Structure 1
């Protein structure tokens, strides 16, 4: 085996991924090289002629073969950055996406740093939204609910690694079932919203490697919102806020569902690609329940 330097390994990896039709080959090649060769991004630039050991080359080779088969980088290296935290991820959870950071951004604008508040994350997955918010808001505490025990195991790991396990409770459950009325100041969710028939047309990284449970939103993609809109309003305290991620063409339909459930100040926030991405609103502050 020819000895590879960091710079040569990166260049070769980049070309191979490009030939395999991978999106963002340079970034993916660097991320896999960092893990395989146990180096930082800075070291690749400042020490480009450092040689990889035979074991490191073999690991990089294995990573490249897997990525060329369109396995997501996050599954290969077992981690993904989101907001300001690093999360462990695997095939049992949705890989965190930058668009979901819009929810975190909206929440942090609404809740000042020192404010104590309680949050609920429905379909918590790897802990993405819940843990990103708790990491920024030391007085907050939260509950994450998921129907997948495998996903909850990943979330528990992430909470412990980020030292947030004393403020983040994680529970196996069916959305809001068993939760009492008016319990939370904030409810967030990134539910499954892709219409069933569209899933087969998605990129192989998503279609073949992400959990179907976290993607499939039923025939029109709106099944979960129909269930969640009245339930989110039920578990929110009067004056409490909600923020849910949506598909790019679902703004009107999801807004209408929340308005019908009694939500106020319902609006849609766009992501950096200027696609409709998050619907937010509040529960009537004067509502005292029935």
Structure 2
């Protein structure tokens, strides 16, 4: 069967399975099977697919039709221009989180400094920042050993040597260390949030998604605890849900942070709130 015909049929199947990006999903999966880019598919759509590749592609399409995330099926996802390995031990890097990277970079103007990424996951934020600020020393922490192992593999593949990664529960192993910038994308969904029943989120680790106090518990904890680990004038930046910015700002102000504000993602939702420890 020709590649373009095969893609059309796979796209129809995924559309019937309610994938919002059916054609893109099919193209990404076929590119993964053939180890080519999408431009190659457009150029050589009249080529036939060998039986082994056809069977492998069909299996991936069936898994995607069952709801499995494309990033888990291919084992990778692009974030901030970096190709990252992914796996079910971590959240899938999303464009919304690039808002956190951009906001942090705006507060990392010096040639060197120290930054802490809490809940490092696949390493997406820490490695994006390391790629842009090679003079900075970046510490990543995650309570999940599998996540730290995956982030370490990503750092090695990308040749980003300025990143240190370790297993730990938030600040527990950092003793008295202080940083110029602290960033985090903590769990921020309530345990009954309807998003948990839809899309890729169904397959991602619940421990990285759900927090108490209607999703605000970890945000409140980090706002409280981060002050002891920020240098004077240092910044705390937190990603959160689209309706949590006001609560995050109130908590930052209450704990004495200056210059408290929120920044929007590409969809116009307030996605990151931040504050500065007084100098």
| TM tier relative to shorter chain | over 0.9
Determine if the alignment matches structure 1 residue 5 to structure 2 residue 2.
yes
Residue among 19, 29, 53 paired with 2:50: 53
Pick which of 40-49 and 60-69 moved more.
40-49
Cα deviation 1:46-79 (Å, max 9, x = unaligned): 1221221111111100100100000000000000
Residue 43 of structure 1 corresponds to 40
Q: CA deviation at 1:102?
A: 0.3
Residue 169 of structure 2 corresponds to 174
Determine if the alignment matches structure 1 residue 153 to structure 2 residue 153.
no
Provide the alpha-carbon RMSD of the alignment: 1.4
2-structure distance, mates of 1:35, 1:104: 27
Residue 256 of structure 2 corresponds to 262
Q: SS at 1:169's partner residue?
A: strand
2-structure distance, mates of 1:201, 1:180: 35
After TM superposition, the structure 1 = structure 2 runs for residues 86-105 of structure 1, keeping only pairs within 5 Å, are 86-105=83-102
2-structure distance, mates of 1:199, 1:149: 29
After TM superposition, the structure 1 = structure 2 runs for residues 1-290 of structure 1, keeping only pairs within 5 Å, are 4-112=1-109, 115-164=111-160, 166-181=161-176, 183-198=178-193, 201-207=196-202, 209-285=203-279
- Contact 2:219–2:238 (8 Å) recurs in 1: no
Q: CA deviation at 1:37?
A: 2.0
Q: CA deviation at 1:109?
A: 2.2
CA change 1:94–1:281 in 2 (3 A) is: same
TM-score, structure 2 length as denominator? 0.96
Would you say how many aligned residue pairs link Structure 1 and Structure 2?
279
Q: CA deviation at 1:252?
A: 1.3
2-structure distance, mates of 1:223, 1:199: 18
Q: SS at 2:271's partner residue?
A: strand
1-structure distance, mates of 2:170, 2:193: 24
TM-score, structure 1 length as denominator? 0.93
**Unaligned 5+ residue runs, structure 1?**
286-290
